[in-house]
Amino acid sequence: MARGPYNDSAFFELFLYFLSMSIALFLDRDGTLIRHIPYLSDPAQVELLPGVKAALQHALKKGFLLFLLTNQSGVGRGWFTMEAVEHCNARMLELLELPSPGFTALCIAPEAPDVPSLYRKPSPRFILEMIAAHKLNPAECYMVGDAPSDVEAAHAAHINAVAVGAQFELAGEGQSFPDLPAFLATLF
C-alpha cells in the first residue's frame, strides 16, 4: 500500500503543529492602546486611541492572539498601587469590548527602572514565555509599542518590532506606523 504524506504520522504532526500557530500581537498599553498619561492611576482618565477598538476586535475575529505587556513603574516608585493599575486595565478592557477570549495574557511590570526586573521592558521574558506556552512562531509575532523599550524587547525576543506614533528613530530592524490601526491594516 502506498503511503501518502497524510499517512505519515511525523508529517501529520508537523502539519497540525503549523496549523495551530497564530499571529500574536504583544501590545504596549500607554500610547499604543490608550492615550498616554504619565503615571496613569485613575480609571476615569483611560481613553482609547482612535480606531484601536475596531482594529483589535477585527484582529481577534481573524484569529490573532493578543497579549498585553505594560511597564508600570509608578507602582515600584510607590506613587500608586497595583490595584490602581488593575482598575485602569479593567476600564480599558471595558471600553475595548473585546469578544472572548480578549487578551490571552496580561503582564504588568511594576518595577522602577533602577530596580532589578524580570519582566520590565526591554526584557523579553514575558514574550519568550508566551511563545513557548502557546507554541507560537516568532516570525508571526509582533511587539507593538510607542517607546524604544518596546522595540528593544522585540529585538531581544527575536520577533517583529513595530513602533506606533513613535517620537524616536528605529534602531535595527522594525517598522513604523502612525498608529496601531494603520499597522494592523497591513496584516488584514
Evaluate the omega torsion of the peptide bond into residue 5 and state whether it is cis, within 30 degrees of 0.
no
Q: At residue 90, does pLDDT exceed 80?
A: yes
Mean pLDDT of 85-105: 96
Q: Is 30 a catalytic residue?
A: yes
- Nine-digit cell string for 115: 530596580
pLDDT by residue (tens digit) across 119-164?
A: 999 999 999 999 999 999 999 999 999 999 999 999 999 999 999 9
pLDDT by residue (tens digit) across 10-43?
A: 555 544 455 455 899 999 999 999 999 999 999 9
What is residue 186's predicted lDDT score, i.e. its pLDDT?
Answer: 95
Q: Are 160 and 174 in contact (CB under 8 A)?
A: yes
- Which member of 8, 28, 146, 150 is catalytic? 28
What is residue 101's predicted lDDT score, i.e. its pLDDT?
Answer: 86
- Nine-digit cell string for 126: 514575558
Residue 103 is inside which H or E element, if any? strand 103-109
pLDDT by residue (tens digit) across 39-77?
A: 999 999 999 999 999 999 999 999 999 999 999 999 999
Single-letter residue type at 7? N
Cα R_g (the chain), whole angstroms? 18
Single out the residue of 99, 105, 100, 66 nearest to residue 184, CA to CA. Answer: 66
Q: Is 150 a catalytic residue?
A: no
- Which member of 30, 146, 150, 179 is catalytic? 30
Superfamily holding 27-185? HAD superfamily/HAD-like (3.40.50.1000)
The Cα–Cα gap between 77 and 120 comes to 14
Q: What is the residue-averaged pLDDT of the chain?
A: 91
DSSP, res 35: -
- Spell out the long-range contacts of 78-84 with Cβ–Cβ below 8 A and sequence spacing 24 or more: 79/39, 79/41, 80/39, 80/41, 81/41, 82/108, 82/110, 84/41, 84/42
The Cα–Cα gap between 8 and 135 comes to 22
What is residue 146's predicted lDDT score, i.e. its pLDDT?
Answer: 96
| Cβ neighbourhood burial of 95 (10 Å; 0-12, 13-18, 19+) | middle
Q: How many CA atoms lie within 13 A of 96 on its CB side?
A: 25
